Structure 1
Amino acid sequence: MSNLFDLNNKVAIVTGASSGLGVQFTKALAKQGANVVIVARRIEKLNELKSEIEKYGVKCLAIRCDVNNNDEIKSVVEQTVNTMGRIDILVNNAGIAVNVQAEGQTDEQWYNVINTNLSSLYFFAREVGKVMIKQHYGKIINIGSIHSTVAMKPTFLTAYCSSKGGVQMLTKSLAVEWAKKGITVNAIGPAYFPSEMTQHAINNEEFKAIIDTYCPMGRAGKEGELNGALIYFASDASSYTTGQLLTIDGGWTAI
Structure 2
Amino acid sequence: MQALGGDRAQRRALRANQVDRSTQLFYQIVIKKVKEKAVDLGIKDKVAVVFGASRGLGLAVAERLGLEGCRVIAVARSAEKLEQSVERLRAAGADIRAMSCDITSKASIASLFANIRETAGSPEIVVYNNGGPADSSFDEATDEEFLDGYMGQVMGFTWVAREAAPDMKRQGWGRFVTLGSRAGKEPHREMPLIIHNVLRPAALGLSKSLSIEFAPFGITVNTIGSGLIDGGEDNSFRKTVRGQAQAQGLSFDDLLASRLATVPMGRGGRPDEVGSLCAYLCSDNAAFMTGQLLILDGGKVRTLY
Q: Same fold (TM over 0.5)?
A: yes
Alignment of 1:38-117 (within 5 A): 38-117=74-153
Residue of structure 2 equivalent to 1:220: 268
1:124 partnered with 2:169: no
* Counterpart secondary structure, 2:136: coil
Separation in structure 2 between the aligned mates of residue 21 and residue 95 of structure 1, nearest angstrom: 9
Separation in structure 1 between the aligned mates of residue 256 and residue 204 of structure 2, nearest angstrom: 25
1:152 partnered with 2:200: no
Residue of structure 1 equivalent to 2:60: 24
Separation in structure 2 between the aligned mates of residue 41 and residue 206 of structure 1, nearest angstrom: 32
> 1:97 offset after TM fit, Å?
3.2
Separation in structure 1 between the aligned mates of residue 70 and residue 212 of structure 2, nearest angstrom: 26
User: Residue type of the partner of 2:238?
Assistant: Q
Separation in structure 1 between the aligned mates of residue 126 and residue 119 of structure 2, nearest angstrom: 16
User: Residue type of the partner of 1:37?
Assistant: I
| Unaligned stretches of 5+ residues in structure 2 | 1-32, 243-251
| Unaligned stretches of 5+ residues in structure 1 | none
Separation in structure 1 between the aligned mates of residue 236 and residue 140 of structure 2, nearest angstrom: 21
Would you say the 8 A contact 2:69–2:95 is kept in 1?
A: no
Deviations 1:189-236 (A, max 9, x none): 1111125322224563324313313x2112211231112211111111
Separation in structure 2 between the aligned mates of residue 196 and residue 216 of structure 1, nearest angstrom: 21
Q: 1:237 aligns with which of 274, 285, 290?
A: 285
Answer with 1 or 2: which has the greater Rg: 2
Separation in structure 2 between the aligned mates of residue 99 and residue 48 of structure 1, nearest angstrom: 27
> 1:80 offset after TM fit, Å?
0.9
Give the alignment's TM-score, normalised by structure 1: 0.93
> 1:21 offset after TM fit, Å?
0.7
Deviations 1:93-130 (A, max 9, x none): 11333222213321111111121122212221221112
* Counterpart secondary structure, 2:225: strand
Separation in structure 1 between the aligned mates of residue 132 and residue 287 of structure 2, nearest angstrom: 30
> 1:6 offset after TM fit, Å?
3.6
Residue of structure 2 equivalent to 1:196: 235
User: Residue type of the partner of 1:252?
Assistant: K
* Counterpart secondary structure, 1:163: helix
> 1:56 offset after TM fit, Å?
4.1
1:208 partnered with 2:208: no
**Which structure has the highest helix share of the two?**
2
Would you say the 8 A contact 1:95–1:117 is kept in 2?
A: no
Q: Indicate the RMSD between aligned Cα atoms, in angstroms.
A: 1.8
* Counterpart secondary structure, 1:198: helix
Q: Percent same amino acid among aligned pairs? A: 29
| Alignment length (residue pairs) | 254
Separation in structure 2 between the aligned mates of residue 41 and residue 28 of structure 1, nearest angstrom: 21
Separation in structure 1 between the aligned mates of residue 190 and residue 286 of structure 2, nearest angstrom: 37
Deviations 1:135-173 (A, max 9, x none): 221100011111111112242211112121122222211
Would you say the 8 A contact 2:51–2:128 is kept in 1?
A: yes
Would you say the 8 A contact 1:37–1:60 is kept in 2?
A: yes
Sort the Cα spacing of 1:146 and 1:244 in 2 relative to 1 into closer, same or farther, 3 A: same
Separation in structure 2 between the aligned mates of residue 57 and residue 19 of structure 1, nearest angstrom: 18
